[in-house]
Structure 1
Amino acid sequence: MELKMAKGKKNSKRIKCVVWDLDNTIWNGILLEDKNVTLRNGITDIIKTLDSRGILQSIASRNDYNSAMEKLKEFKLDEYFIYPQINWNSKSTSVLTIANLINIGTDTLAFIDDQQFEREEVSFSIPEVLCIDAIDLSGLIDMPEMIPRFLTDDSKNRRIMYMSDIKRNLIEEKFDGPQEKFLESLEMELTIAPVEEGDLERAEELTVRTHQLNTTGYTYSYEELKSFSSSDRYKLFIMGLNDKYGTYGKIGLILMEYDDDVWIIKLLLMSCRVMSRGVGTVVLNYIMKMAKDKGVKLRAEFVPTDKNRMMYVTYKFAGFREVEENDSLVVFENSLERIQGIPNYIKLKVNI
């Protein structure tokens, strides 16, 4: 099968997080007026189904925080919601706060509320958010935006991994010392290995879901990625990250093109959850060292989007300079004269 390397596809919309109202949405009634509110029929199954698909969930509700969380705990649903915003702010403010805390684009959020005013307020302030009327939720889990193409181990455990991230972030906030010392305390282990058959579904999921730390913004199908993984000219690698608090899962991809005298990084992407862990710099310096040892030039392709500025900075910080620009495609090259060693705060295991 011919390899499609020219352009790939731009990310298609998938919902990453559903933000729920509470009163007359998750439960029947208004909690401040009646403490004996009851769950809506079928709501627990909907929440658990979304969770099993790797779709995160949160709360944007005007309510008393302690009372609302106590009621969610009574219904055994509290564990399903990360960063719940239960306060007296506008719903749009709460939705934006959730997006910022999770570090995802607002165009990957859905907001569910029974009040037309609240939905319109969010739509006006954040038009890219998918707003859904809570009156009829019977078709929610059948919406195309709510159905991932694959269910991988990472997607099934996504909420648990985010909860571990919350724990890490709280510990980091209280840590007294330089950033590198905190990273060292995590005891991180980064793995880089060729993509195998069992990794392909997660590899496609990464290209679909990853916007910010993606050097091109392109997505690739399962079939295209399988072609790359079995090619002599192209090599596809997947990254995993663990620390003493648990696993981050499979967090990144590297797509390389090999010619006799030049290597090209066609794609480098990483989950936004590892943005502050220095993974990009570690990976680039390892590739740089390999290229220098092989005596080849190292180039990298970059396509600017409205979200991936951080990856441009990552390339520049690693010593890449622009040597060519064709339409929106920027080609970088590295002189391989300034290669950093692997930092003490991370252990690198490579099978390349």
Structure 2
Amino acid sequence: MKQSYGYLAVRLCVFAIWGLLCFAPFLFQDVRALEVAARICIFIVLVASYDLLIGYTGIVSFAHTMFFGFGAYGAAILLKQMGPGWDAVALGALAGVVVSLIVATGVGLLSLRVKAIFFAMITLATASVALVLASQLSQFTGGEDGITYRAPDLFKPATKLLVDAEGKVVKIFGVSLNGKLAAYYFVFFSALALFWVMVRIVAAPLGTVLKAIRENEARAEAIGYRVVAYRTFVFCLSAAVASLAGTIYAVWLKYTGPDTALSFAIMIDILLMVVIGGMGTMWGAVVGAVLMVLAQYYLRDLMGVAADAVTGVPLLPELLNPDRWLLWLGIIFILLVYFFPRGIVGTVQTMGARQ
């Protein structure tokens, strides 16, 4: 019974976060807050899918944003060419998944037999090639400028989901039931569904096999598991989920470019979120994504308030200058790794098990 305390606390926290995300449009009624909530939903899926690789199977890949970009560009190109219809979204998502599966299968079969560091370098090279192609094939991808397009009509801010007798859009708690709200809940429920699928996967016997491969690949091979086949399958599964996340984000953002879909900075963010939340926990994806995205959007503001509060104190206003937010973000990350060596979720679960 005591062993369940840490797990119960983590699950209650994760359910509370999903609950806040569900009611975010009504709790935080400004454009920036809604953008933050949507980004958190997307990164929960991205981080969870990457945790399937590094946390559950021990695969270190630097190509995760490449698959995210395939899904985003698939939707973007077809929405630009075919117009703002659901057929373009569906075909774009399918195209992104197909390309991701082909590339992931090729990279997996050719590279997963080599040592971890060499596989990581191969994925990094592959992702770099994808980024260069996206920047240079401007006739398809828009080059460095990216692609701007329209989302389906349901997601237009002017769309009225419900109207009253006078033809005015219905409001609930001051929030208009319009296309922007529909777009957010498209992101939210899509992300929730993908996250739930991944939680079920790691809870199934497949999850146990993946952990066995991570802990001792030779032993797993010796007892009859085809390690390369399992690792390739998980690599493809992770790529497909990342691609779908890219499609969802493209529909929400209505813009796709190298910086938003293929940037190596996104890969760094994913790695940090996995480490902060806890590798091999899946629930840690939620905690890591929330903390990292909130820090990226609001740490500067908090530092500005703190700097104003200590005006007149020697040195402190300079240290708390909002322009130095990356410095403080790095310090916070170091402290989190020091005090939570297994990530926040992993450490809490371990502490709960020891009580």
Q: Whose strand fraction is larger, Structure 1's or Structure 2's?
A: 1
TM range (shorter): under 0.3
TM normalised by structure 1 equals: 0.24
Structure with bigger RCO (C-alpha 8 Å, 6+ apart):
2
